[in-house]
């Protein structure tokens, strides 16, 4: 067997122990040689029992101090402290042992003073040298290029990131940029703070940087947009570390490098919730979520499961979506009593049986069709799913003694111009009116678009960018409100906790975002240039679409609630008898597929609703082909 193969069979821990014992013997010999070197007339002598006692006692001390729990690759100050402690304690123990065995015959007292310093030097130097070699070595046999990176942010996250990158041969940290004056001219982990954030483009150019790493996990969306704008000006690729709330929630690791997402730029500050009140509403309750496989429904299921409900029933009509959320929840919460039901909420027989078996105490009704242009020409389908299915689930909730029923609505129901918005408004009216005739608390929660939800513009734009464009935007001035899916669902839970029944809550959506700006930002995040590398084409407003969404209706007189991001709309009364008559009329129209009759039903319940079946001519922006490349 060759020496190389023999060395490969030795366990790393055993090799370290052998190394340390050899070093211990060497340190004892060197300490004694140094002592006798002071007087050349004396001859160095070693008793036969010296080395066995020194090695045995010092080995026990190594084990006691936990010296071998450390890894040489990451040797640091705690390891050096352990070495120093082992050397001092070992010296005392060796001195006592030699005194008891041979009265320290042949062992001058000064040897015991020199020994711990020599031993600490001999133990610590190889460890630190090994770490330095591992951290700084360049593998000449690997062709992978190293990238010069500049870290934006010199706080604790930036410092930790630089340490991690120092051990990664793919990156070389050239320095930091940070706005804090106290860091001007400072060095962090040996790397200088080269300037402020405003100086980022100049610093990146002067330092020949190849990539920017944003280490600002606590930055707000506004601050992130400013930083990303500066990064865009450099023309360099950039990455970021996850937000603090994502790390705390377990959705990401602290120093994980990822691409900057549109959520990082459009997201808002973390929502402050009254979790005590939310837990009182949901903990140890039987909860049912309809549409539990959709974007909002699935996140509701995750939040509810995290709160420790007694049982969770998921109703979903899409087999694959139901499978996905069920598998995820079973893996994450194996103790959760989970019931996954493949069913249509409009199926009265199946839903009645389900309510009888599950006996839910809280119902979140998120099931609905939401695609505005698609529903515009399919009135019967929209009414059947968004109105009648809601009525079915609401009636069963009332009959079954459900404590709280939450209808997930939309800002498109405020002053509807589309079939989808009109149907959601009728669903709101029904739940509000049913609240007065039931012991169940019926609560409605409205909000706008959620980022990266199924069918939204974000995944559509992402696909169009990957395909090389163009990105299609309906109108250069069209704007929408956006919030993240977790924020929306958490505010839904909060609204459910503060609601008493009959309310329509509207969530604070912040500032509207122009879809054109959203498209341009997503193109930049993909490393492309808007208008040239990825063209933007304006196609004109589609049937039922508005340039902007309204969060408030003039007749609803919105008022504040106990939560800063939740508003209360004043009830707009509708006759219960009229409502019941029109619902019965619509039911019959659905059976006979009479869409003209359905139109009349909708118009009776929503007199101000205008049947805008075609886009108005002035909404369409004519575009010549040669204009695309000029933008």
Could you give the percent of the chain with pLDDT greater than 90?
Answer: 21
SS3 assignment, position 212: strand
Higher pLDDT, 280 or 482: 280
Check whether 492 has a pLDDT greater than 80. yes
- Which of 24-33, 105-114, 431-440 shows the highest mean pLDDT? 431-440
Q: Is the dihedral of CA 192, 194, 196, 201 positive or negative?
A: negative
Yes or no: say if 314 and 364 are a contact pair by the CB < 8 Å rule. no
Lowest mean pLDDT of 52-66, 387-401, 543-557, name the range. 543-557
* pLDDT band of 61, cuts 50, 70, 90: confident
* pLDDT band of 614, cuts 50, 70, 90: very low
Yes or no: say if 542 and 373 are a contact pair by the CB < 8 Å rule. yes
Check whether 243 has a pLDDT greater than 70. no
CA 407/CA 403 separation, integer angstroms: 14
User: Measured between alpha carbons, how far is residue 154 from residues 147, 178, 216, 524 in Å?
Assistant: 19, 6, 9, 25
Give residue 517's pLDDT: 77
Give residue 544's pLDDT: 60
3-state secondary structure 479-541: EECEECHHHHHHHHHHHHHHCCCCCEEEECCCCCEEHHHHHHHHHHHCCCCECCCECEEECCC
Give residue 2's pLDDT: 45
The mean pLDDT value for 230-236 works out to: 84
- Exposure class string for 64-81: b at 16+ Cβ within 10 A, else e: ebebeebebeebeeebbe
Yes or no: say if 421 and 413 are a contact pair by the CB < 8 Å rule. yes
Higher pLDDT, 602 or 207: 602
Give residue 589's pLDDT: 92
User: 212 has which bridge partners?
Assistant: 150, 238
Lowest mean pLDDT of 190-194, 269-273, 430-434, 571-575, name the range. 269-273
Give residue 559's pLDDT: 67
End-to-end, the C-alpha distance of the chain in Å comes to 71
Alpha helix segments (H runs only) across 45-141: 50-65, 77-102, 109-136
Q: Phi then psi for 580, rounded to 5 degrees?
A: -65, -40
CA 519/CA 534 separation, integer angstroms: 10
* pLDDT band of 7, cuts 50, 70, 90: very low
Check whether 74 has a pLDDT greater than 70. no
Cis peptide before 281 (omega within 30 of 0): no
CA 339/CA 327 separation, integer angstroms: 12
* pLDDT band of 242, cuts 50, 70, 90: low
| Token code pair at residue 373 | 């242009």
Cα–Cα nearest to 130, from 68, 172, 76, 169: 76
CA 621/CA 473 separation, integer angstroms: 10
Q: Structure pTM?
A: 0.62
Check whether 456 has a pLDDT greater than 90. no
Check whether 105 has a pLDDT greater than 80. no
Check whether 393 has a pLDDT greater than 90. yes
Give residue 452's pLDDT: 60
SS3 assignment, position 619: helix
| Token code pair at residue 206 | 């002067």
pLDDT in tens, 576-597: 888 889 999 999 999 999 989 9
* pLDDT band of 630, cuts 50, 70, 90: very low
The mean pLDDT value for 471-494 works out to: 79
Give residue 316's pLDDT: 94
- Which of 22-26, 276-280, 287-291 shows the highest mean pLDDT? 287-291
Higher pLDDT, 449 or 312: 312
Could you give the percent of the chain with pLDDT greater than 70?
Answer: 77
Cα–Cα nearest to 494, from 263, 308, 276: 276
Higher pLDDT, 386 or 222: 386
* pLDDT band of 287, cuts 50, 70, 90: very high
- Which of 230-244, 335-349, 516-530, 598-612 shows the highest mean pLDDT? 335-349
CA 291/CA 173 separation, integer angstroms: 48
CA 234/CA 209 separation, integer angstroms: 10
The mean pLDDT value for 623-627 works out to: 31
Check whether 171 has a pLDDT greater than 70. yes
Check whether 45 has a pLDDT greater than 70. no
Check whether 511 has a pLDDT greater than 80. no
pLDDT averaged over the chain? Answer: 78
User: 446 has which bridge partners?
Assistant: 506
Spatial CB neighbours of 260, under 8 Å, sequence gap ≥ 6:
214, 224, 228, 238, 239, 240, 525
User: Measured between alpha carbons, how far is residue 100 from residues 53, 105, 108, 116 in Å?
Assistant: 11, 10, 15, 20
User: How many CB atoms within 10 Å of residue 416?
Assistant: 23
pLDDT in tens, 76-97: 566 777 788 888 888 888 888 8
């Amino acid at each position: 067997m060759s020496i190389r193969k023999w060395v490969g069979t030795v366990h790393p821990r055993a090799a370290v122990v052998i190394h340390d014992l050899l070093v211990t013997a060497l340190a004892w010999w060197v300490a004694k040689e140094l002592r006798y070197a002071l007087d050349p007339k004396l001859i160095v002598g070693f008793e036969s029992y010296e080395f066995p006692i020194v090695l045995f006692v010092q080995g026990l001390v190594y084990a006691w101090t936990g010296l071998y729990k450390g890894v040489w690759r990451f040797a640091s100050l705690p390891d050096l402290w352990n070495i120093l402690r082992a050397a001092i304690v070992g010296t005392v123990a060796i001195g006592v042992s030699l005194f008891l065995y041979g009265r320290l015959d042949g062992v001058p007292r000064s040897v015991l003073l020199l020994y711990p310093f020599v031993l600490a030097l001999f133990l610590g130097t190889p460890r630190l040298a090994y770490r330095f070699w591992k951290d700084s070595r360049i593998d000449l046999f690997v062709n992978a290029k190293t990238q010069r990176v500049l870290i934006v942010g010199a706080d604790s996250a930036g410092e930790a990131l630089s340490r991690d990158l120092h051990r990664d041969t793919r990156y070389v940290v050239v320095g930091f940029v940070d706005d804090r004056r106290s860091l001007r001219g400072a060095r962090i982990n040996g790397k200088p703070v080269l300037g402020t954030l405003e100086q980022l483009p100049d610093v990146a150019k002067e330092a020949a940087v190849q990539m920017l790493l944003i280490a600002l996990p606590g930055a707000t969306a506004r601050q992130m947009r400013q930083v990303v704008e500066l990064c865009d000006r450099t023309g360099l690729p950039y990455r970021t570390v996850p937000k603090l709330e994502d790390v705390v929630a377990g959705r990401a690791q602290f120093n994980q490098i990822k691409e900057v997402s549109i959520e990082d730029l459009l997201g808002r500050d973390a929502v402050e919730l009254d979790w005590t009140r939310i837990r009182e509403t949901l903990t140890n309750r039987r909860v049912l979520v309809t549409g539990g496989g959709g974007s909002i429904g699935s996140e509701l299921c995750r939040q509810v499961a995290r709160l420790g409900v007694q049982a969770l029933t998921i109703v979903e009509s899409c087999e694959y979506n139901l499978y996905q959320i069920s598998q995820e929840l079973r893996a994450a919460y194996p103790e959760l009593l989970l019931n996954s039901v493949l069913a249509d909420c409009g199926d009265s027989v199946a839903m009645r049986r389900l309510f009888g078996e599950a006996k839910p105490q809280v119902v979140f009704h998120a099931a609905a069709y939401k695609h505005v242009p698609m529903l515009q020409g399919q009135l019967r389908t929209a009414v059947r799913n968004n109105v009648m299915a809601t009525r079915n689930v609401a009636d069963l909730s009332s009959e079954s003694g459900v404590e709280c029923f939450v209808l997930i609505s939309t800002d498109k129901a405020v002053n509807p111009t589309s079939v989808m918005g009109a149907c959601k408004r009728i669903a709101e009216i029904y739940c509000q009116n049913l609240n007065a005739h039931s012991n169940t608390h019926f609560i409605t929660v409205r909000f706008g678009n959620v980022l990266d939800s199924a069918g939204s513009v974000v995944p559509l734009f992402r696909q169009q960018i990957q395909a090389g464009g163009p990105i299609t935007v309906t109108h250069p001035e069209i704007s929408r409100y956006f919030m993240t899916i977790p924020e929306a669902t958490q505010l839904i839970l909060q609204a459910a906790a503060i609601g008493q029944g009959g309310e329509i809550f509207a969530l604070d959506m912040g500032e509207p975002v122009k879809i054109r700006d959203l498209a341009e930002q997503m193109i930049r995040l993909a490393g492309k240039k808007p208008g040239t590398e990825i063209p933007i084409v304006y196609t004109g407003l589609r049937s039922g679409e508005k340039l902007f969404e309204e969060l408030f209706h003039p007749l609803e007189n919105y008022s504040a609630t106990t939560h800063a991001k939740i508003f209360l709309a004043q009830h707009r009364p509708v006759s219960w008898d009229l409502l019941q008559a029109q619902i019965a009329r619509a039911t019959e129209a659905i059976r006979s597929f009479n869409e003209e009759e359905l139109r009349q039903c909708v118009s009776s319940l929503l007199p101000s609703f205008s049947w805008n079946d075609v886009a108005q001519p002035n909404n369409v922006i004519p575009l010549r082909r040669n204009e695309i490349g000029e933008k």
